[in-house]
C-alpha cells in the first residue's frame, strides 16, 4: 500500500495540555508519527512525500475566519504583554447567548479553540497544512486508481470543526479527503474507528446527505468529548439519517466491537458510496494510554479486513493512537489485515 508522509510535523510539539486541572505535555507527540513510519517501512510499504495541493481543499471545509486565525494566531499572541509560548484559550463564548466575533487574539482563541488540548505553537499551522495535504494526496491516489492509500497524518483532524480546533486537531483531514473525493463520487462514506467520537466530522456533515458519517467510539456519557457522539444524534434537515453513532461501553473487546462494525459496514453498503474514508484510530488498543477499548494488536487485522470486504476505494487517515510499544505493531497489523482481503 502507498503511504503518504512528510516530516513537516516534527516541530509541532505542543507543551500545554490541560488534564483534570493540570498542565502537562500533550500526548500528541512527534514520536507517534516516527514510530508509525518506521513500522510501515519495515512492512515494505511504499512511502511517498505529500504534494502541496494549495489552500482549496482546506478552504472547502473550513471558514476563512478560522483559517486566518490558525495562520496568524501564534505571531499575534507573541505581541501580547507577557504571553505564553503557545496559544491557549482562557475564555469561551457562552452557549445560547449573543456572540460578537472578537477582534482580540485572546477572544479569537476562545472562539476558535474548543478545549485546552489544541494549543498553537510556532509550527502548528505548517504541520496542520502538511497533514491536510497528506490526506488530500491519499485521496488523489485513490481517485487515480489505487485500491487504498494510507495518509500518515499528524496532527490528527477528526475533532476539528469548520471553525474550531479541538482535541489535538486543527484541520479536519478526513473531511478534507471526503470532500476531495466528492469531486468524482456523488456519495462518500466516512467510518471513524477512533476511541473518541469524531465530533468535528459529525458537525461538518450533519446537515448533508451526500456524505454518510459513522463513528464507533467510547460511550460519551463518561468519556470525552461528552457532549456529542450519542446514538440519538442522527443528523438534521437534509442530513437526517446520514449520521450514525455507535457508542460502545468502555473496555469493549473484539467480541463486542465486531458486531457494531459489521452493522456499520451494512449501513455503508446500503448507502452505496463511490469511496470510503476511514478515520483510523489506533487508540482503541488495550495498551493505549487512553485505555478506552481492549482491541489487541491482532484484532486490528480483523477490523481492517472487515472494512476491506466493503470493496470500496479507501483512504485510510491516521487519527489517534498514542505512545506505547505496540503502536508500530498496531499499524502493521491494520494494514496487513486490509491487504489480506483480495
Task: For the sheet with 188-192, list strands across it.
Answer: 46-49, 2-5, 148-151, 314-318, 275-280, 188-192, 211-218, 243-248
C-alpha–C-alpha distance, residues 212 and 276, integer Å: 9
Q: Is-catalytic flag, 45?
A: no
C-alpha–C-alpha distance, residues 91 and 86, integer Å: 15
Element (H, E) at 2: strand 2-5
Of the candidates 112, 159, 197, 217, the residue annotated as catalytic is 159
Cell readout for 274 is 463511490
Element (H, E) at 332: helix 327-339
Contact 331, 36 (CB under 8 A): yes
First to last CA, the chain: 13
Under DSSP, the state recorded for 103 is: S
Contact 281, 320 (CB under 8 A): yes
DSSP 133-189: HHHHHHHHHHHTT-SEEEE--SS--TT--SS-BBTTBSS-HHHHHHHHHTTT-S-EE
Look at the block and give the residue holding cell 507527540.
29
Closest among 168, 177, 187 to 50, alpha carbons compared:
177
Residue positions annotated with a catalytic role: 159
Amino acid at each position: 500500500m502507498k503511504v503518504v508522509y512528510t516530516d513537516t510535523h516534527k516541530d509541532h510539539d505542543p507543551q500545554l495540555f490541560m488534564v483534570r486541572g493540570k498542565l502537562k505535555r500533550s500526548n500528541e507527540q512527534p514520536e507517534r508519527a516516527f514510530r508509525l513510519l518506521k513500522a510501515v517501512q519495515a512492512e515494505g510499504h511504499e512511502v511517498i512525500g505529500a504534494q502541496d495541493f494549495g489552500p482549496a481543499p482546506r478552504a472547502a471545509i473550513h471558514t476563512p475566519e478560522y483559517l486566518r486565525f490558525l495562520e496568524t494566531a501564534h505571531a499575534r499572541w507573541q505581541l501580547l504583554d507577557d504571553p505564553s509560548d503557545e496559544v491557549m484559550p482562557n475564555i469561551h463564548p457562552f452557549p445560547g447567548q449573543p456572540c460578537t466575533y472578537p477582534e482580540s487574539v485572546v477572544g479569537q482563541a476562545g472562539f476558535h479553540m474548543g478545549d485546552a488540548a489544541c494549543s498553537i505553537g510556532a509550527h502548528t499551522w505548517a504541520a496542520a497544512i502538511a497533514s491536510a495535504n497528506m490526506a488530500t494526496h491519499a485521496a488523489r491516489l485513490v481517485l487515480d486508481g489505487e485500491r487504498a492509500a494510507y495518509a500518515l497524518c499528524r496532527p490528527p483532524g477528526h475533532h476539528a470543526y469548520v471553525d474550531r480546533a479541538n482535541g489535538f486537531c486543527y484541520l479536519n483531514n478526513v473531511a478534507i479527503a471526503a470532500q476531495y473525493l466528492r469531486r468524482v463520487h456523488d456519495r462518500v462514506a466516512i467510518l471513524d474507528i477512533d476511541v473518541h467520537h469524531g465530533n468535528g466530522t459529525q458537525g461538518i456533515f450533519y446537515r448533508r446527505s451526500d456524505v454518510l458519517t459513522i463513528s464507533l467510539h467510547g460511550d460519551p456519557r463518561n468519556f470525552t468529548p461528552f457532549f456529542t457522539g450519542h446514538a440519538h444524534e442522527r443528523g438534521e434537515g437534509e442530513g437526517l439519517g446520514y449520521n450514525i453513532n455507535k457508542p460502545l461501553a468502555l473496555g469493549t473487546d473484539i467480541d463486542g466491537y465486531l458486531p457494531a462494525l459489521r452493522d456499520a459496514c451494512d449501513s455503508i453498503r446500503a448507502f452505496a458510496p463511490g469511496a470510503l474514508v476511514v478515520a483510523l484510530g489506533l487508540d482503541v488498543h488495550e495498551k493505549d494510554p487512553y485505555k478506552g477499548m481492549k482491541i489487541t494488536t491482532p484484532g486490528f487485522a480483523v477490523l481492517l479486513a472487515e472494512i476491506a470486504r466493503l470493496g470500496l476505494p479507501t483512504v485510510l487517515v491516521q487519527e489517534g493512537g498514542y505512545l506505547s510499544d505496540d503502536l508500530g505493531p498496531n499499524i502493521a497489523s491494520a494494514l496487513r489485515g486490509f491487504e489480506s482481503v483480495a
